[in-house]
Amino acid sequence: MAADTIHTKETFTTTTSSTENITTQVQALDIKNPHNHHQHHHHLLHKYNTTETDEADDDDDDSCCARSPVTLGPSPSVAKEHGLARLIKNNRAWSKAIKERQPDFFEKCSQGQQPKVFWIGCSDSRVPENELLQLAPGEVFTHRNIANVVVSTDLNCLSVLQYAVEVLKVEHVVVCGHYGCGGVAAALGDHSYGLIDHWLGNIKEVKAQHQDNLDQILDQEEKCRALVEINARNSVLTVAKSPIMKAAWERGQKVEIVGLVYDIQTGLLGELGYHLKNVEDLKAQLSVDSSTLFAARDTIANTRS
């Protein structure tokens, strides 16, 4: 992995001057390697992008596109160049293209949602759950925040969890961390970023719990990858410990919590090895000590190929 995908303290400090507000700071957390940026989005410029809808594109009839129209949205970089008018135009083209493929798609959407997956992920624009899972609107329920942190006092996240489990009755609660996470990288350092420090403090607590094992990883990038993984694990455990999951499992509801990690350099998901289907699974995970956890990192499914 290129060193510049990790957001160093220096990069972050340079990006945020004292006159910029917290929104800018949050955005700056995830500025990535500019060499990859354009490339990363370019492949998304399929026929639904208005720059291409006027062009002949009749060969694009693969089943993937037919199944998941949402994956063919406009390139964020293009949208940025052309402002709001461009966004609206992109939206019109997207809607039109979907209706051409499935005329009753939006009518069916309006009748309700029955997603099987509840996704808890990072707000990072490079980790779009619908897109990377190839799921259409209506197929994944979502909560995203900086660094996919789940805290037992976060009414926002817990409300979404409750709705997902008790009303929508999702079958999978996915907690997905991602390598190159600016929030995790920031939590790894000592720099102060203002208001966001309170949020990052949750990750710092996880870090402190595993400090000895993290200290043994000398490579900073690898250390960040490790913290990404254990931060996601911590969120998995916090979800599992919630009264919402406890009650669901007690009444025999089939709902599983899984931990994944996404690699923004390859576009691949890896499994973190957590599949919690009941309270016993949670207890088993809670009994794993930090050293065993770090020793097991080699078994994480490869996200590089």
Contact residues: Zn ion, CB under 5 A: 122, 124, 181, 183
Q: Is 64 designated active site?
A: no
Nearer to Zn ion, 150 or 181 (CB): 181
Q: Determine whether the annotation assigns residue 224 to a binding site.
A: no
Q: Which two tokens stand for residue 245?
A: 């999951």
Catalytic residue among 143, 178, 210, 225: 178
CA dist 155 and 92 (Å) reads 35
Nearer to Zn ion, 48 or 179 (CB): 179
Q: Is 4 designated active site?
A: no
Most distant CA pair in the chain: distance in Å?
59
CA dist 237 and 145 (Å) reads 17
CA-based nearest residue to 78, from 31, 123, 44, 127:
44
Q: Determine whether the annotation assigns residue 122 to a binding site.
A: yes
Catalytic residue among 30, 40, 122, 233: 122
State in angstroms the smallest separation of the CB of 302 from Zn ion.
20
Catalytic residue among 7, 30, 40, 126: 126
Q: Which two tokens stand for residue 86?
A: 């461009």
Q: Is 176 designated active site?
A: no
Q: Which positions ≥6 away from 35 have C-beta within 8 Å?
A: 2
Sign (positive or negative) of CA dihedral 69, 267, 186, 206: positive
Q: Is 122 designated active site?
A: yes
Q: Is 181 designated active site?
A: yes
Q: Determine whether the annotation assigns residue 124 to a binding site.
A: yes
Nearer to Zn ion, 175 or 181 (CB): 181
Q: Which residues are annotated as a binding site for Zn(2+)?
A: 122, 124, 178, 181
Residues with a known catalytic role? 122, 124, 126, 178, 181
